[in-house]
Amino acid sequence: MKKIIITGALGQIGSELTMKLRELYGKDNVVATDIREPKDSKVVTDGIFEQLDVTDADRMKALVEKYEVDTFIHLAALLSAVAEAKPKLAWDLNMGGLLNALEIAREHNLKFFTPSSIGAFGPETPKDQTPQVTIQRPTTMYGVTKVSGELLGDYYFQKFGVDTRSVRFPGLISHETLPGGGTTDYAVDIYFEALKNNAYTSFIGKGTYMDMMYMSDAVDLIIQLMEAPSEQLKCRNAYNVSAMSVAPEDIEREIQKHLPEFKLTYEVDPVRQAIAESWPNAIDTSAAQEEWGFSPQFDLEKMTNDMLQQLNNKEI
């Protein structure tokens, strides 16, 4: 990677990935884009930033040509709960934006990354040690767009030779950005509320296990995957990745080691609970480990320590 363009750069992944890429490759070599342009964001003020609606293919192409990029990281998408509430918008944005980006990657011979998700699985998928290659019949619009995205990535690689790469992200936990409408968002909210109110009401039910990952691991693995030699990659669209499989009560116990009075209660959201129950409990990440050395650094204990420390420093 020498010159990189990122869509959705103000989102949960993009806001941290953009800053890390600028640190590694230089501010002048990372072009951040988003449909919004908040003037108080470091993503906007601390490097190249361009406003972009990813459904505008002409504007996207013009930016790729203007900055002569060689790598395209496409993050712009609606997340699971929002996508379920607005399915047509989710299809138009998630698939229309992705197809625009892939076409431009084909035309300009760009290395290409877009994330998939554990949402690409469904209720018929094996729940435990979910294989890399398995049945994928999601029951949400978000999941449908993610499976479609995986297939499109494979198609553009096999048909046109586009160097497409992807991972199936689990729930991502970050101290930098607030949740954006995902089913796993409780695992971010819980830390903020623990420090503010010493209590949290979970919209996901007790005993509901889902895969999770700390954002610093997610950022690092994108860079690691994009720098891996192409010939090593067999399951390129998309690799199972995860750092931990946790239920709400697991996070509660870990927080109570730091805040003994913390209390977790439940008020289950039927929509997000149904989505969570259609996803795996814990996935098999061996393909990513073997093909490009995936190895997350944060488990639940280490992540909780860092989350609470970072949020304390911000005086939320």
DSSP string computed for 162-193 = --EE-EEE-EEE-SSS---S-GGGHHHHHHHH
pLDDT of residue 185: 86
Cβ contacts of 39 within 8 Å, gap of 6 or more = 45
From 67, 142, 200, 239, active-site residue: 142
pLDDT digits 0-9 by tens, 204-245: 999 999 999 999 999 999 999 999 999 999 999 999 999 999
Residue 74 — φ and ψ, nearest 5°? Answer: -105, 105
Low-confidence ranges of the chain (pLDDT < 50): none
Residue 39 CB coordination number (10 Å): 6
Classify residue 119 by its DSSP letter. Answer: G
The H-or-E segment that residue 71 falls in is strand 71-74
**pTM (two decimals):** 0.93
Confirm whether 142 is a catalytic residue: yes
CATH 3.40.50.720 boundaries in the chain: 4-129+137-167, 171-212+242-314
What are the beta bridge partners of residue 81? none
Place of tokens 């290409």: 112
Q: Which CATH architecture best describes the domain 171-212+242-314?
A: 3-Layer(aba) Sandwich (3.40)
Of the candidates 67, 109, 98, the one whose C-alpha atom is nearest the C-alpha of residue 230 is 109
* CATH superfamily to which 4-129+137-167 belongs: NAD(P)-binding Rossmann-like Domain (3.40.50.720)
Is the distance from CB of 121 to CB of 279 less than 8 angstroms?
A: yes
Place of tokens 């449908």: 144
pLDDT of residue 314: 79
